[in-house]
């Protein structure tokens, strides 16, 4: 009698065929059982049901992500519960807000009845939360004065701002939710993006919103002109004439015929005035330091157009005679 042909693993084609039949039978029985079970009533489960908020988006804006679902406990037909659990062809429940900025929450008890009707014939048993929290602000349009961001520019050596920056236009119009606009604290920062400035600047700057606020705020002013006036201070030095005031005859300086030098920065526009001035190193005995018998130098005159005035030496030691 001929032998039955074996597979490589020792299982005959007939045995393979029998296994397929068994698997198909089990699959069919399982499918029948599941379908039969799903057709039954009185199942209970908890699902995250999708929701949507509806409000006037021309007048209001959400500044935080709105809740996208609400946890509910429901009872009903197996098919209905399975569909809602996996959100297959499920329409979101719409929550209408007539005054969205009046509160930052909604009691779920206020929508329980309408939600129950919406998910019918499934029965609503319980709500998983007592409130839905959100932040929706009224949209406003405001005008803010521009201000120069001090970190966006630097001045060259011995360069000073002659006056406050000027802007054209002198106000910037923004539109967005109120709490986001409040973050500007009443002014709009302008980035100059200039380093080591050593001459007057007149620059047109495109305006933009920072990345973290761009989704909320829109600019109605696209560009601003910034003007800066600067002045250079020049380095200089002078030898000062020594002048003693209120000195008793018995008091002298420890150093005989001292040389006093003054070092300074001068406004470049005032150099001609500087030439006409006679500076003195004034030593007023009445202002001496009695503890260490020293006296400090005072420069006279000391005009406002001088800066970083330094005197060397800055003081002298006193000696007292008989």
pLDDT at 38 over 70: no
Residue 170: CB atoms within 10 A of its CB come to 10
Which residues, other chains included, contact 60 with Cβ-Cβ below 8 Å and sequence gap of 6+?
Answer: 100, 101, 136, 137, 138, 139, 177
In a 10 Å sphere around its CB, with 0-12 CB exposed, 13-18 middle and 19+ buried, how is residue 195 labelled?
Answer: exposed
Task: Give pLDDT, residue 31.
Answer: 39
DSSP code of residue 285: G
Q: 35-49, 195-209, 243-257: which has the highest mean pLDDT?
A: 195-209
Region 264-278: what's the mean pLDDT? Answer: 92
Region 255-265: what's the mean pLDDT? Answer: 92
Task: Give pLDDT, residue 88.
Answer: 78
pLDDT at 261 over 50: yes
pLDDT at 18 over 80: no
- Of 9, 15, 77, the C-alpha closest to 40 is 77
- CA distance between the termini of the chain: 151
Task: Give pLDDT, residue 257.
Answer: 83
Q: What is the pLDDT of residues 144-172, one digit of tens each?
A: 999 999 999 999 999 999 999 999 999 99
- Alpha helices, H only, 130-280: 178-181, 271-275
What is the DSSP annotation of 248-274? -TTEEESSSS--EEEEEEEEGGGHHHH
Are 51 and 127 contacting, i.e. CB atoms less than 8 angstroms apart? Answer: no
Task: Give pLDDT, residue 17.
Answer: 55
pLDDT above 70 covers a percentage of the chain that reads 87
Q: What is the pLDDT of the chain when averaged over all its residues?
A: 87
Q: Higher model confidence: residue 85 or residue 243?
A: 243
Band of the pLDDT at 13, cuts 50, 70, 90? low
Q: Which two tokens stand for residue 216?
A: 């909320």
pLDDT at 180 over 60: yes
d(Cα 130, Cα 136) in Å, to the nearest integer? 19
pLDDT at 29 over 70: no
For residue 230, give Cα distances in angstroms to 154, 156, 205, 271, 304.
Answer: 12, 10, 19, 16, 17
Which residues, other chains included, contact 284 with Cβ-Cβ below 8 Å and sequence gap of 6+?
Answer: 245, 246, 295, 298
């Amino acid at each position: 009698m001929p032998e039955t042909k074996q597979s490589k693993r020792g299982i005959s084609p007939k045995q393979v065929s029998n296994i397929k039949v068994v698997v198909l039978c089990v699959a069919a029985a399982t499918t029948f059982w599941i379908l039969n079970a799903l057709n039954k009533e009185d199942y209970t489960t908890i699902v995250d049901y999708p929701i949507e908020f509806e409000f006037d988006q021309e007048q209001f804006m959400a500044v935080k992500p709105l809740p996208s679902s609400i946890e509910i406990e429901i009872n009903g037909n197996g098919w209905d519960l399975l569909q809602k659990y996996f959100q297959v062809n499920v329409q979101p429940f719409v929550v209408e807000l007539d005054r969205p900025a009046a509160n930052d929450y909604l009691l779920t008890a206020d929508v329980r009845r309408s939600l129950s009707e919406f998910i019918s014939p499934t029965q609503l048993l319980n709500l998983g939360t007592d409130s839905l929290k959100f932040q929706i602000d009224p949209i406003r349009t405001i005008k803010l004065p521009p201000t120069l961001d001090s970190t966006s520019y630097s001045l060259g050596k011995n360069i000073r701002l002659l006056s406050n920056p000027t802007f054209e236009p002198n106000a910037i119009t923004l539109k967005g939710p109120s709490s986001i606009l409040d973050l500007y604290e009443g002014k709009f920062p302008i980035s100059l993006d200039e380093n080591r400035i050593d001459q007057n600047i007149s620059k047109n700057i495109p305006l933009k919103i920072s990345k973290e606020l761009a989704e909320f705020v829109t600019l109605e002013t696209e560009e601003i002109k910034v003007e800066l006036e600067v002045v250079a201070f020049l380095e200089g030095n002078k030898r000062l004439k020594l002048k003693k005031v209120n000195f008793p005859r018995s008091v002298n300086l420890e150093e005989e015929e001292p040389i006093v030098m003054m070092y300074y920065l001068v406004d470049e526009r005032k150099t001609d005035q500087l030439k006409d001035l006679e500076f003195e190193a004034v030593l007023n005995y009445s202002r001496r330091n009695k503890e260490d018998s020293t006296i400090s130098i005072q420069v006279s005159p000391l005009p406002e157009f001088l800066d970083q005035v330094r005197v060397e030496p800055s003081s002298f030691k006193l000696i007292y005679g008989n």
